[in-house]
Amino acid sequence: MAFIGIDREIESHWIYQDAEYFKVWFEILLRARYSSDPEKTMLEGKLVTVERGQFIFGRISWSKRLGISEQRLRTLFKKLVSDGMVEPIQKFPKFSLYRVKNYEKYNQQSNHQQSQSDQGESGTGNQQSNGESTSSQPAANQHPTTQEQGSNNDDTKKTKKTYTPEFDEFWNVYPRKIEKADCFKTWQKVLKAGEQSSFIIQCAMNYSAECQKKKTEQQYIKHPKTFLNEERYKDYKFIAVGGNNNGEHRTGTQGIRLGSYPKASGGESIVKGRTGWIGNSPHKSASTDLSDLQ
C-alpha cells in the first residue's frame, strides 16, 4: 500500500482553508514523480523528461478530471508559485512541467526502500499524462516498518502542542489560520507583558469583521503572529456603537462582556467610551475604546 506524507500542521496552512485548493494540492503530490530515475514520456508530440518531484500540468485535462474551473486552477497555480510551493520548469503549448519544492518532505523513505526503488523500479514512474494512471507503485512508497512507526509515534507525541482555552478562543475567531505553534509563543509573550486575553480576542473579532466586510482575500489577511506582534492588534480596538461613525470596525457591542464592568445607579452595566458612557448615562458615545475596559 502506497502513501503520501502530509504533516498535521497543514490545517494551519492557507491551502487547507479551501476544499478545492486542497484537492489540487493533493493531486499535485500524487502526480509528482517519486522515482529518482528520470522518465521520458511523449505528450502532444513533445518528448518530455520528468525528474523526481516534477509533474505535468495541463489546465484543461486537470479541470475535467478534478471538476474545478480552469480559472480557479490558473489562480491557484499563481499562488503556489508565489508562495514558493511549486516552480515552473518548462512550458509547452498545451501543458507545463512543474516541480514540487521540498519534495522530500512529502515522500520520505528509508535507504533500504530507496535502494529497492532504484534497483527494481527503474522506469516505472507514477507520472500520469492527461489523466491516465499507472498500475503499480514502487516499494519506496510502502508503509514504514513497525520500528519506524514506533519512532514516528514518539516524534508525534513530542511535537504535539497543548494550547490554553483563551488562545483556542482567539484562534477560532481569527480569520486566518497559519503557523499556530509560533503564534502561540507570541501570544504567551504578549500576555506575559501584561495584556488581557479578552482584549486581544475582541480586537481579533473586530479585525475579522473588517475582513468580512471588505471581502479580503486570505493571502492579504495578516498572519496571526503578525497581528500580535508590536501591539498591532490595538489598531482594531474600537467598536462603532452609534452616532455618525463610519469606522472600519463595526461589530456592535454584543462582543463586550458587560457584566464585569461598573454598574450605573439603576444597576445597568456601563462601559466607558472616548466621549462618555454606554449604558445608564446622559452622554451618547460614538465609539468605544476597549483599552478603557482593562
| Residue whose C-alpha cell reads 478534478 in the numeric block | 66
* pLDDT tier, 2 (very low <50, low <70, confident <90, very high otherwise): low
Q: What amino acid is encoded at 187 in this protein?
A: W
Cβ-count burial 219-238 (b if 16+ within 10 Å, e if not) = eebbbbbbbbeeeebeebbb
8-155 belongs to which CATH class?
mainly alpha
Quote the CA–CA distance of 220 and 230 in Å, as a whole number: 19
CB atoms within 10 A of CB 76: 18
Torsions phi, psi of 15, nearest 5?
Answer: -70, -20
Convert the pLDDT of each residue in 152-187 to its tens digit: 555 545 556 689 999 999 999 999 988 899 899 999
What is the end-to-end Cα distance of the chain in Å, rounded? 57
Where do the structural domains in the chain lie, given as residue ranges? 8-155, 165-293
pLDDT at 255 over 90: no
Q: Taking the CA atoms of 157, 163, 165 and 167 in sequence, report the sign of the dihedral they define.
A: negative
Convert the pLDDT of each residue in 258-272 to its tens digit: 344 444 444 444 444
Stronger pLDDT, 58 or 119, i.e. the higher one: 58
* pLDDT tier, 133 (very low <50, low <70, confident <90, very high otherwise): very low
| Residue whose C-alpha cell reads 495541463 in the numeric block | 58
DSSP 28-90: HHHHS--SSS-EEEEETTEEEEE-TTEEEE-HHHHHHHHT--HHHHHHHHHHHHHTTSEEEEE
Stronger pLDDT, 220 or 50, i.e. the higher one: 50
pTM over 0.75: no
Residue 9's pLDDT is what? 82
**Cell numbers describing residue 208:** 475579522
